[in-house]
Amino acid sequence: MAAAMILMASYAASAQSQSFRLGQWAEIQNSIIKELNSSYVDSLPIDRIMRAGVDAILEELDPYTVYIPEEENEDLQMMLSKTYGGIGAIIHKKKTENVIINEPYAGSPAHKYGLQCGDEILEIDGVPTKGLESKESSDRMKGKPGTTVVFKVKKVRTGDTLDIPVIRERIHFPDIEYAGILNDTTGYILLTGFTDNVAGELRSKFQYLKKQGMKKFVLDLRGNGGGLMDEAINIVSLFVPKGSLVVTAKGNTPESVREYRTLTEPIDTDIPIIVMIDSGSASSSEIVSGALQDMDRATIMGRRSYGKGLVQSIRPVAYNGQMKVTTAKYYTPSGRCVQAIDYSNRNEDGSVGHIPDSLTREFRTAGGRIVRDGGGITPDVDIPFKDYSRLVYALVLGGVIDQYVIDFARRNDTIAVVDEFHFTDEDFEDFVRFAKTQEFDYRSSAKALYDQMKKELEKDGLAETMSTELEALEKALEMDKERFIRLKKDEIIPFIEEELATRYWFQEAGVKVRLRYDDQLKTALEKPMI
């Protein structure tokens, strides 16, 4: 009893001291700003320097604790709910060019009113798009559902210029991008987020797949950066007994510890489950995969997850602003914290480090299997993903494939349905001819490393003495653009096929093409389960 009282007294004293220091620094900051406002040689940019000060404070904590002013509240709501008022299309925009419709979403206003991939938007409500920034163009397309935006459009195939009024709607990006049967008995759901009611949607899709004869289930969380923790808990509850511990959140006081358990009856506690994860699987994805792993309810396959074990809450602040603040760390049922980086203990230079493997601890699953903490969820079955060449990254990230698909859409009214569509040898030759005209960095990884090495040798004054050897190596590494593209044909075609399928048959078709070439998933289906 006495020890508890001493502990409480110590905590109270610490809290009082912290409050005093906060008040002291608030006074100092206020006096500095007042002095600058009265004495500084130029007019003080109050809004800019105060926002910079707030951001600098929060940068000392973790990347997920951020201030959101009133004017950015809509962006926050879009991030949390994946909804906004608009036309439902991805656009392509360079500052000196008009807006290009890149990808309308199935059933969206853009789709309903006939906007197609490659259509050129000349004006938005009478305002020319040439010269607008991409964000400004996008913002002009957005608006309150039920309102009308008028586009002056140059149609991609006819070249006709038309005025097309489009009534905005509430656009929702679905968290479940695809649900289907991969083979006779394996059901598959691609989950890309955790927004409101996604667990209910997954329940419906799962039940549909069972009616189609599903005997084994794959939940794909690769690239899923997380979202609402409650939805993660609700998804776990579909497959484990009611009352099961899913996650424990621990803040900075003993009173902040909270356990989250399943509150509903499951729909299936027996079906074999594979959960696919990778380095892009974070937060709520790690709650789901970690809980199902700890309960021995699923076999986790793929690569180690991101390692974000921090819980954020949205708190109101003055003048209708909000702050997304990290309030706790979460722990899986076995007691593991999956947080990979310790932001609370920074190095002298301000950097943070990953928890080394040597400091990780062992935990046990419900069935007694060993699992470890220290950063992310380690899969039960590690499956490497395909490592693409530097050229492929250049073609994708540099927009070459994207531009080709738009050009293709200008010349072709349609393509075969997705199950029958394949990019032919003749089609690839067409792509080669297009790519040869584009400016992009087509160096191989070896050539890029050589160029860097040569620069370092020049800095050290050694390049001249090694000129003969360097010239021979450079010649050996040089490769004609066309030859290099042809060499990587098998790597390039899947990306083109996916983009074309998406443009002509929408997002679900693109996912179906992606699955056609998903070697990591194919390997997972061949592996034994726990």
Q: Which helix (H) or strand (E) holds 157?
A: none
Q: Which of 294, 260, 271 is nearest to 378 (CA)?
A: 294
Distance in angstroms (rounded) separating the CA atoms of residues 377 and 219: 15
Catalytic residue among 294, 380, 402, 518: 294
CB-side neighbour CA atoms (13 Å) of 470: 16
DSSP state of 515: H
Q: What is each CA distance from 135 to 78, 93, 99, 467, in whole angstroms?
A: 15, 9, 11, 48
The Cα–Cα gap between 486 and 480 comes to: 10
Q: What are the CB-based long-range contacts (under 8 Å, 24+) for 155-161?
A: 155/116, 155/119, 156/116, 156/117, 156/118, 156/119, 156/120, 156/409, 156/410, 157/118, 157/410, 157/413, 161/122
Which one is catalytic: 82, 93, 205, 308? Answer: 308
CA distance linking residue 506 with residue 511, whole number of Å: 9
Instruction: Confirm whether 283 is a catalytic residue.
Output: yes
Cα-based angle 486, 489, 491 (whole degrees, multiple of 5): 140
Per-residue tokens: 161: 């210029």
Q: For this structure, is 139 an active site residue?
A: no
Residue 39 falls in the annotated catalytic set: no
**Residue 343 CB burial class (10 angstroms; 0-12, 13-18, ≥19):** middle
Residues with active-site annotation: 283, 294, 308
